[in-house]
Each structure stands twice: as C-alpha cells, then as structure tokens.
Amino acid sequence: MPYTVDFENVSTTGLESSPVAESLAGLRANEARYLRNKFAHVFTVSPAAEAPEVVDWVHGILAEERDLVISSRPLEATSFEVDGIRMAYVFYESGLSINVMYTVEDGQKRAVGFKLSEGMEVPEELASRFKFARQKSKLAGVIRGSYFVIKGEH
C-alpha cells in the first residue's frame, strides 16, 4: 500500500526494521521536501515487495554500470516521471538510500545517487569505490552522499 511521505511530521512508517529507522525516516523526508520544492511532486513510496520492477531496474543499473550488488534488504521503493526525468528511489534496511535520475531524452544527464543515513557505516560494497561528501539536513542530520554518471541505456 503506497505511503505519502510527510516532511513536516517525520514518521518511521515502513522503516521500523532498520537499526537507523529515525535517521532513515529523516532522509526519506528530506527527499520528499526536495521533490516538493523542486518539482511540486508529492513523494509516495511502497513496500519494496509491491514494487519489484523498480528494485530490479535500480539493481540492474548498479550491476551493469558498476558490477555492484547491494547486500542490504530493500524496504521501500518508488518510481515516477517529472519534467522529463524518470526517477526511482530504493530505501534499504541498512539506512542506505539509492536514487536514479534518468532523463527520458537521449544525451541528457543520467546518474545514480547514494545517500547514507546518519549512524550507519558505509556499506562494504561501496566503501572502496566511492568517496562520500557530508551535507547537513534539518530533517536527516548529517547525510553522506556520492553518485556516479550512468553511461549506458537502461
């Protein structure tokens, strides 16, 4: 069942099994606020089991582009299109959030972003491959983030 993320009253709904549920909920709310402010988009997520095509698409990009496999269990996922950009988000039990921004028009920007919730360690599969920059958020505390540019067609 889809859940509309509220960035004014942050809730751990759907994320309770995460050891960093509070900060992951803040990270999810931070994304909801960004999407509302930038695109006027209402951010809704579904349990990952109800959105396997989204999880498969994101995991397929990670595997093909960087030979990456995420070891944590996906908790929630969503996909939508806004302003000619297909966006997908997957939130993981470890506190990791992965988002894909994939412009529909060829030759435009396409990238995968990683964000780490405050209190989680850098996942082993990402630690040696990416450097993470820090960003402060009122909703999520300190977010560490990194990204890579998508080169192929997905």
Which tens digit of pLDDT belongs to each residue from 87-139?
Answer: 999 999 999 999 999 998 876 889 999 999 999 999 999 999 999 999 888 88
pTM of the model: 0.94
Q: What is the pLDDT of residues 48-73, one digit of tens each?
A: 999 999 999 999 999 999 999 999 99
- Rounded distance, CA 114 to CA 112, Å? 7
Question: Which residues, listed in sequence order, are joined to residue 96 by a DSSP beta bridge?
Answer: 116
Q: What is the pLDDT of residues 92-104, one digit of tens each?
A: 999 999 999 999 8
Contact 42, 3 (CB under 8 A): no
Kindly list the domain boundaries of the chain, sorted by start residue. Answer: 3-149
Residues in the chain: 154
φ/ψ bin of 83: left (φ > 0), alpha (ψ from -120 to 50), beta (otherwise): left
Contact 139, 33 (CB under 8 A): yes
In which band, very low, low, confident or very high, does the pLDDT at 141 lie, cut at 50, 70 and 90?
Answer: confident
Cα torsion 146, 71, 87, 47: sign? negative
Report H helices in the chain.
21-39, 52-66, 124-127
In sequence order, the 6+-apart residues with CB closer than 8 A to the CB of 145 are: 113, 114, 115, 116, 132, 133, 135
φ/ψ bin of 58: left (φ > 0), alpha (ψ from -120 to 50), beta (otherwise): alpha
Dump strand ranges (E) for the chain. 3-4, 44-47, 74-82, 85-92, 96-103, 110-116, 133-137, 141-149
In which band, very low, low, confident or very high, does the pLDDT at 6 lie, cut at 50, 70 and 90?
Answer: very high
Structure tokens at 35: 């999407």
Share of the chain above pLDDT 70, in %: 99
